[in-house]
Amino acid sequence: MANPPYIVGNWKMNGTRAMLAEARAIDRAASRLRDVQVALAPPFTLIHAMREAVNDIGIGAQDCHVRPSGAFTGDISAPMLVDAGAGFVIVGHSERRAMHGETDAIVRAKAEAAQAAGLGIILCVGETEAERDSGEAEAVVTRQLAGSLPQGEEATVKLSVAYEPVWAIGTGRVPSIDDVGAMHRAIRARLAATYGEAGGDVRILYGGSVNAGNAAELLAADEVGGALVGGASLTAESFTAIVVAAVSGRE
């Protein structure tokens, strides 16, 4: 694998300044490890303070608006994220697709807005339990990618895709390693079809109930280039254990 594993913590709607201590501890641990790339995506309100508090890890956001500015009360644009110190943004998380009605077209527009602002992107896809049970998982994910991958010359620059089965998020359930590998191979094939050779450089992360106990095995699955971690990224103790597992799995 050319790239080191990319281990990203998505804090979702969790965290106040009191939790910056956890970010500092994660940063200290990550700075002692080689061959792994670590990042946190806190809520908007913590991006600037967290960027100032850490040295080595990446800091990103969990969403952005499709437009750079304007009359969009309560929204945050990609250039604003850059201004606050973010280096990347998560787009298309299933919680936003489900609770904010984000379609593939909106997710694509957000990804392209983020790229125009110079941000890295983690674009999320994943099937529901009903879709998995009816044998449609790969078709659903392929369709999401076809509709939401950014277009344009520089589309693969700083692009990662995260495969997060909706039924594995926050449930303690994970797909079999074979199913993870099969889905990641299908995603790789779609990236190659969309971008040609450049599609080979896009990292594909797995997300959904990743913890210190299952991280090494999940990260060793075919085409898995990192992890997007929710609940287990909220403390330095649990997140650092995942980062350590990612490194030791490669030795």
Contact between 181 and 140 (Cβ < 8 Å): no
Cβ neighbours for 58, distance < 8 A, ≥ 6 positions apart: 8, 37, 38, 39, 40, 87, 88, 120
Residue from 127, 164, 184, 223 carrying the catalytic annotation = 164
Least distance in angstroms from the C-beta of 168 to ligand 13P? 6
95: annotated active-site residue: no
Contact between 51 and 85 (Cβ < 8 Å): yes
By CB under 6 A, name the binding residues for ligand 13P. 10, 93, 164, 169-170, 207-210, 228-232
DSSP state of 232: G
Nearer to ligand 13P, 33 or 227 (CB): 227
Least distance in angstroms from the C-beta of 167 to ligand 13P? 10
Nearer to ligand 13P, 225 or 231 (CB): 231
Nearer to ligand 13P, 79 or 92 (CB): 92
Residue of closest CB approach to ligand 13P: 230
Contact between 138 and 176 (Cβ < 8 Å): no
For 208: left if phi > 0, alpha if psi spans -120 to 50, otherwise beta; the answer is left
Least distance in angstroms from the C-beta of 241 to ligand 13P? 13
User: What is the C-alpha R_g of the chain?
Assistant: 17
Nearer to ligand 13P, 96 or 190 (CB): 96
Cβ neighbours for 245, distance < 8 A, ≥ 6 positions apart: 212, 215, 216, 219
Residue from 93, 102, 131, 138 carrying the catalytic annotation = 93
100: annotated active-site residue: no
- The amino acid occupying position 84 is A
Indicate which residues carry an active-site annotation.
Answer: 93, 164
